[in-house]
Amino acid sequence: MIEVFKTNVNDEVIAQRLIKQLHDTFIGCSANFDLTDCDLILRLCHEGVEPMLVDSVIDLFKQHGYCAEELTEGEQPLTITYAIQENNSLSSTIGVIFCLL
C-alpha cells in the first residue's frame, strides 16, 4: 500500500532526515517526498495493512516539529494498492501511479 500525506516540509535536507527516520522506524517501508507539489507530498510505501501506521507517521512528524496530514478522497484515505512481481520488485506501473498523484 502507498499512504499519501500532505506535509509542511519544504527543505530537501529536512526531507532526507525524515525519510531516514521513517525507514529506521518502519522497517521495510519506502518513503519519498515531492517537494515540488503544492501539498509537499510524502508517499510511504509499505506491505500489508498497518492500521496504526498513519497515526505513527503523524506523531513522528510532530516530534520533529512538522505536520503531516493523511490525504483523503472524500472520506476515504488516499491509498494505492500495488502488485508485487514474482521477484518481489514493484511493478513498473508504480511509476505511472506516482505521476498521476
17-38, pLDDT tens digit by residue?
Answer: 999 999 999 888 899 999 999 9
pLDDT at 65 over 50: yes
Residue 20 CA: distances (Å) to CA of 29, 33, 88: 11, 12, 22
Average pLDDT over residues 79-101: 43
**CATH number, position 51:** 3.30.70.100
39-57, pLDDT tens digit by residue?
Answer: 999 999 887 666 678 899 9
Q: Quote the domain boundaries for residue 56.
A: 2-100
Instruction: Return the higher-pLDDT residue of 72 and 46.
Output: 46
Integer Cα distance of 79 and 75 in angstroms: 12
What's the number of domains the chain is made of? Answer: 1
Instruction: Return the higher-pLDDT residue of 76 and 36.
Output: 36
